[in-house]
Amino acid sequence: MPSEAGDMKLMGNFRKLIDQVSADSTYNPSNASLSTTALEAQYAAGLAAVEGVSAKMAPNKIAISERQIAFDALGKLVTRSRNLLKATGASSEVLADAETFVRKLTGTRKSPKAKEVPDNPATPENEAAASHSASQMSFDNRLGNFGGYLAIVSNVSAYKPNEADLKVDALKATSSDLKSKNDAVSSTFVPLSQARGLRDQLLYLNADCVVNTALLVKAYVSGALGTSSQLNKQIKGLQFKRRN
């Protein structure tokens, strides 16, 4: 995907190209799509598409940051809650079940991680897979595991902490907040993805995209006015790279 900085560089070069050909009275292409009027319209549409990406990117970045901050606090919160659960005198079975979710939420293991083993290409098994971390630290997985932990403490009648943020209702509110923040990342990404798609079409992918139009302009100038013409010399150094 083209970078946003690369987009602005492309549009900057397109602006320079338009300014150069508009100032030259010998520029007179028969292809209407290369007229200065058409070029100006294409520039306006392309620039709007680039600016649209930036506008849609801001809410997504904010949503990502807010989600990260909220989930970063989850490990300490659930560890404190687990310790209070222990203090209730809950059975070893309940504590073991709770501990399973705590380990998944904090990215720890029940036993020390074994030394990573490289895969042996001579065998059908993937030996390296066995040494991979057992933690499930994706946001979706942590939401699910936090829900599993909540289900346990919610059914322990003795779990009635005085600490406001560790009460069952508070933990449930935290879970809802985490889900809301996780959903916000997805919902704000949709318009950003759409804006990037439009940007890519107008600048790089369509048959009449900015890159292709600019290259046609340069081809016309070198053909109609010659490679030694002043206008060709002025625009030949402008780069219009196709999407990789």
pLDDT tens-digit series, residues 106-120: 988 665 555 555 655
Predicted local distance difference test score (pLDDT) of residue 112: 54
Identity of residue 238:
L
CA distance 65 to 169: 25
Statement: residue 124 has pLDDT above 50 = no
Predicted local distance difference test score (pLDDT) of residue 126: 47
- Which helix (H) or strand (E) element contains residue 194? helix 168-200
Provide the whole-model pTM: 0.78
Given pLDDT bands bounded at 50, 70 and 90, which one contains residue 242? confident
CA distance 25 to 61: 47
pLDDT tens-digit series, residues 78-98: 999 999 999 999 999 999 999
Predicted local distance difference test score (pLDDT) of residue 116: 55
Statement: residue 202 has pLDDT above 80 = yes
Statement: residue 158 has pLDDT above 60 = yes
The conformation of residue 207, written as its DSSP 8-state character, comes to: T
- Which helix (H) or strand (E) element contains residue 178? helix 168-200
Query: What are the boundaries of each domain within the chain?
Result: 4-69+188-235, 71-184
What's the angle, vertex CA 194, arms to CA 3 and CA 52, rounded to 5?
A: 60
